[in-house]
Structure 1
Amino acid sequence: MLPPVELEVRHLRALCAIADAGSVRKAALQLGMTQPSLTTQLRRIEGAIGGLLFTRGQTGSRPTPLGHSVLSRARPIVAEMTALVTAARDAAVGAGGARLRVGSVGSRVVTGWLRRIHDRLPDTDITIHIEVSANTLLQLLATNQLDVALVHETAGFPLHIPAEVRRRVLVEREPRFVTLSAGHPAAASPAVTLTELADDSWIVDPTADHEWAALRRVLTAAGLDPRLLHVRDNTTAADLVASGEAVRPCQPTAEATPGTVIRPLAGDPLTAELSLAARPCALPLPELDALFDDLADAYEEATSRSVAYRTWLTGAGRPAPPDGRTSGPGP
């Protein structure tokens, strides 16, 4: 039996993360831990408290009645500690200069966005936090750990928007393309149908919000039941695609790696909404407008570098506006 531990704020934070994420695996990712480490920590916490805090099943981890009781006391403590640390950091920044905490899902747009922000705010201390999960970014905004973030929402799978967070849509309906081997029979097609990929394995990132569920829904609707490969590492995923072992959904602004090509999916079965999320009380409106303009310019720049996306936009009759703003493809 694992020895009990003296409960600390980090243990309470771990319990809140498990409850919010709905699983030990997702909570471990948010906390920057391995799943076995968090599982061991949870067992020790339960040993210290003297009872089971979560039930574990195929649908994830759910608080027991004792777990709900502990969480009702833990959340205010965690919130107070977060507020204390944030206030201390804000005081330090007030003495040392301006600060901007930027978050984003992985995207080719990020580099251009940061470059524009740095050019416009040369005396501001700017940090960037990249997350696979848009829901995690929204929680970081809600708890004042980020000031602004680029997030995406997969069509049919709404994000959990905290009450204090607002979003401004950058691209209403961005298509998801597919990356496949340059030697794939479908690589010669200007747009690839799902049936052309019926015999392929599909790579998905298990940590990305709803990526697996959205892909499964689309493939099932097409009458397909392909193999799914859960791969988190981008280098490994790129090598698997280049070797012809699998195909992979991708953003239309993505750049093809050696040995691969990027093609639209016919009919655009996978789409996402891109938006800039922030707490309106955290930044003045003119600065939020400027950050949105920076992001829109960066997105337009990324679009101009993607031959596949430019071709798709032209073919869809929706060329990007010349003023550097884009609302993306419409519904």
Structure 2
Amino acid sequence: MNLTDSVTLKQLRTLCAIRDAGSLAGAATRLNLTAPAVHTQLRKLEEQAGCLLVVRGGGAAARLTMEGVRLCEAQERIDAILAKVEAEIATLRDGHTGRVCLGVVSTGKYFAPGLVALVRRAHPGLDVVLKVGNRDEIVLLLQQGVVDLVIMGRPPRQPLVTAYTIGDHPHVMIAQPGHPLVGRRAEITAHDILSETIISREQGSGTRILMTRYLDRIGEGEPYSTIEMDSNETIKQAVMAGLGIALISQHTVIEELRAGRLARIDFGDLPILRHWFVLHDAAIEPSGAVKTVLDFVRDQHGAFLPQL
């Protein structure tokens, strides 16, 4: 006997209908089947079980053997499990439960945990996992399908993505408080900026790309000296120590600017205003939990972003 490979839900439900109706004819009426069809289902089930499941009494009456009772009990447990799974599938489909992997470029780590907290308060059934890395690392995770959604600045060219603007992303030039360039907007020249040591993020960073383009534009090819750091925190400490100046996301230095541990250099068209985007692979239409998180982030209109 190997019921797991052969028995069907239809056969088990037929057996339970016989139990409930007290006869094969009554079961046929309940199931909207013919009497021969009920006989066939019962005969196949008894062959598979290798024992008698129903005892015919006087007239048309029928009752289940102990083996038949056990199979009906199993059917009831199966129905309960399927009902539970059906409800779980509905919540997954409707986006009330599920797991979402959110990729965030390292500059966004200053607000991403707060955003995740907002999502979980609004949708406690969702599990949002953060993956933080520089631009190149996050784009690779998106290409590999590791992350469902990404928050970053300039969207990548590859893979093709669907991107939505979620808020402003200003970049500022920072220096040690008391630095000679602080408070001298009208007097500062591009040469003054490029004569300073520039503290820079590593290759592959979106901030590094923006800094390089900006300095090349204002300097028209004038060389400048850089010191490379692999995190915004290290850059901030280096600038506070007087090692140089840096172009950095304002969202990473809000608290230091408020407390006076860092100061802005006002020059030309600074701050540079960019935007934050939430995006996903264009080939994958968000659904379920992913769509719930995407819609939630978009509906915030950048309210979770730090403000100076």
1:266 is matched by which residue type in structure 2? Answer: G
For 1:248-327, what aligned pairs fall within 5 Å after superposition? 248-253=246-251, 254-257=253-256, 259-268=261-270, 270-279=272-281, 280-284=284-288, 285=291, 287-294=293-300, 296-299=302-305, 302-303=306-307, 306=308
User: Which residue of the other structure, out of 113, 135, 138, is the alignment partner of 2:115?
Assistant: 113
Residue 169 to residue 222, structure 1, CA distance change in 2 (3 Å): same
1:112 touches 1:298 (CA, 8 Å); kept in 2? yes
2:165 is matched by which residue type in structure 1? Answer: V
Q: Give structure 2 stretches of 5+ with no counterpart.
A: 1-88
How far the C-alpha of 1:268 sits from its partner, in A, is 3.6
Computed over aligned residues only, the root mean square deviation of the Cα atoms, in angstroms, reads 3.0
What percentage of aligned pairs have identical amino acids? 15
How far the C-alpha of 1:295 sits from its partner, in A, is 6.2
Residue 207 to residue 276, structure 1, CA distance change in 2 (3 Å): same
Aligned equivalent of 1:183? 178
Report the number of matched residues: 201
How far the C-alpha of 1:287 sits from its partner, in A, is 4.6
Q: Secondary structure at the match of 1:236?
A: helix
Give, in whole Å, the separation in 1 of the partners of 2:153 and 2:102. Answer: 15
Q: Secondary structure at the match of 2:245?
A: strand
Aligned equivalent of 2:244? 246
Alignment of 1:160 onto 2:157 = yes
How far the C-alpha of 1:222 sits from its partner, in A, is 2.7
For 1:1-331, what aligned pairs fall within 5 Å after superposition? 98-105=98-105, 106-107=107-108, 108-133=110-135, 135-153=136-154, 159-163=156-160, 165-171=161-167, 174-189=169-184, 194-209=190-205, 211-223=207-219, 224-253=222-251, 254-257=253-256, 259-268=261-270, 270-279=272-281, 280-284=284-288, 285=291, 287-294=293-300, 296-299=302-305, 302-303=306-307, 306=308
Q: Secondary structure at the match of 2:254?
A: coil
1:283 is matched by which residue type in structure 2? Answer: S
Give, in whole Å, the separation in 2 of the partners of 1:250 and 1:113. Answer: 21
Q: Give structure 1 stretches of 5+ with no counterpart.
A: 1-90, 307-331
Q: Spell out, residue by residue over 1:68-110, the C-alpha distance to the aligned partner (whole angstroms, 9 max, x if none).
A: xxxxxxxxxxxxxxxxxxxxxxx9xx8xx62121111122331
Give, in whole Å, the separation in 2 of the partners of 1:111 and 1:264. Answer: 30
2:216 is matched by which residue type in structure 1? Answer: T
2:166 touches 2:297 (CA, 8 Å); kept in 1? no
1:138 touches 1:277 (CA, 8 Å); kept in 2? no
1:178 touches 1:262 (CA, 8 Å); kept in 2? yes
Q: Secondary structure at the match of 2:145?
A: coil
Larger Rg, first or second structure (1 or 2):
2
Structure 1 length-normalised TM:
0.52
Structure 2 length-normalised TM:
0.56
